[in-house]
Amino acid sequence: MFDLIVCGAGPAGITAAVYAARQNLKTLVISENIGGQAALSGDIENYTGFQFITGPNLAKHFEDHLRHFDVELNENQSVSSIEKKSDLFRVNTGEGSIKSRTVVVATGGKPRRLGIPGEAEFKNKGLTYCAICDGPIFSGKEVAVVGGGNSALDATLQLTGIASKVHLITLNREITGDSIMIGKVGNSDNVEIHSNTKTLEVFGETFVSGIKVEESGSEKNLDVQGVFIEIGWVPNPPKVKFESGEILLDKGGAIKINEHCETSIPGLYAAGDVSSVPERQIIVAAGQGCIASLGVFKYLSTKKFN
């Protein structure tokens, strides 16, 4: 029996676990990986305390901080569902189920799909959603990045030193995102920006050999060997089952929370990109993990369990 089970080990989940450990709560963290989306970021220049740090390096700092405390960590596991009966939660994974008095859901997000022909067929065959994971595979090759915000800018900047040429394709008339990143992309010699351009199809034989786009009203093919889809993330909540009541989601599929990171189910909290927080930033997720954990402590301090 745990006082708290944290689902996810990104910035929100790790922060929640650290704060719980400092309150001497018996805590378990269940996660497929350490660092979450932060570990997939490239150069980070807006996390307080670090003028410059890479995503993997920041994730390593998070992990080191977590392992400093007496927190159990089940790695390479995913939460399939959460149930609540009476006052207790049961968190189910592929390895079995575990009981806890409270739960913090910090399972982050998953890549948003384009939903075009060839996307599913060529996934991991030249089409990917992670530049930092798969970028080195495309050394010296011509690639395309689809997206128009910070995720696309980050991927493009990572690929400029790897690929021979990067096509940045966006539906928008102009690239949006941090001005510093926009400037760096604009000054890159091997980046071609395709504004007001719709990606129609990914094609090839065994592997990607090109994409079809509609640019300024005209269709054409771009010969690329790699396609990176960077159009943002969608919330990734686990399935939840309760005897009474239900967990409320917003129209985007995120778990609705209040200012204390409480969900519609007492004892269940959510933090980070899986929640209805309006801003998707590493520092915001970490702050929410703190709020959720403090809420857990107050809940346990006032609740009488049968």
CA–CA gap between residue 66 and residue 61 (Å, rounded): 9
Percent of the chain, pLDDT > 70?
99
Q: Where are the beta strands (DSSP E) in the chain?
A: 2-7, 27-31, 43-44, 53-54, 72-75, 79-85, 88-93, 96-105, 109-111, 127-128, 142-146, 165-169, 191-194, 197-204, 208-215, 218-222, 226-229, 233-235, 239-242, 268-270
CA–CA gap between residue 54 and residue 77 (Å, rounded): 25
Q: Give the pLDDT score at 279.
A: 86
Which one is catalytic: 64, 70, 87, 133?
Answer: 133
Taking only the tens place, the pLDDT of each residue in 26-62 is: 999 999 999 988 888 878 888 999 988 988 999 999 9
Are the C-beta atoms of residues 74 and 30 closer than 8 Å to each other? Answer: yes
Distances (CA, A) of 63 to 29, 67, 73, 77, 301: 12, 6, 11, 16, 28
The pLDDT of residue 246 is above 80: no
Domains of the chain: 2-110+233-302 (3.50.50.60), 113-229 (3.50.50.60)
Q: Give the pLDDT score at 194.
A: 94
Which one is catalytic: 3, 7, 64, 134?
Answer: 134
Nearest to 38 by CA among 17, 9, 67: 9
Q: Give the pLDDT score at 184.
A: 92
Q: Does an H or E element contain 19, and which?
A: helix 11-22
Q: Which of the four pLDDT bands, split at 50, 70 and 90, describes residue 185? A: very high
Active site residue 7: no
Buried b (16+ CB within 10 A) or exposed e, 183-200: ebbeebeebebbeebbbb
Q: Which of the four pLDDT bands, split at 50, 70 and 90, describes residue 245? A: low
Q: Give the pLDDT score at 13.
A: 97
The pLDDT of residue 306 is above 80: no
Which one is catalytic: 130, 250, 261, 290?
Answer: 130
Q: Which of the four pLDDT bands, split at 50, 70 and 90, describes residue 216? A: confident
Active site residue 130: yes
Q: What is the mean pLDDT of residues 124-144?
A: 92
The mean pLDDT value of the chain amounts to 92
CA–CA gap between residue 230 and residue 157 (Å, rounded): 13
The pLDDT of residue 305 is above 80: no
Distance between first and last Cα of the chain: 13
Q: Give the pLDDT score at 243.
A: 64
The pLDDT of residue 191 is above 90: yes
Rg for the chain (alpha carbons), in Å? Answer: 21
Active site residue 133: yes
Q: Give the pLDDT score at 217.
A: 85
Q: What is the mean pLDDT of residues 229-258?
A: 85
Taking only the tens place, the pLDDT of each residue in 56-65 is: 999 999 999 9
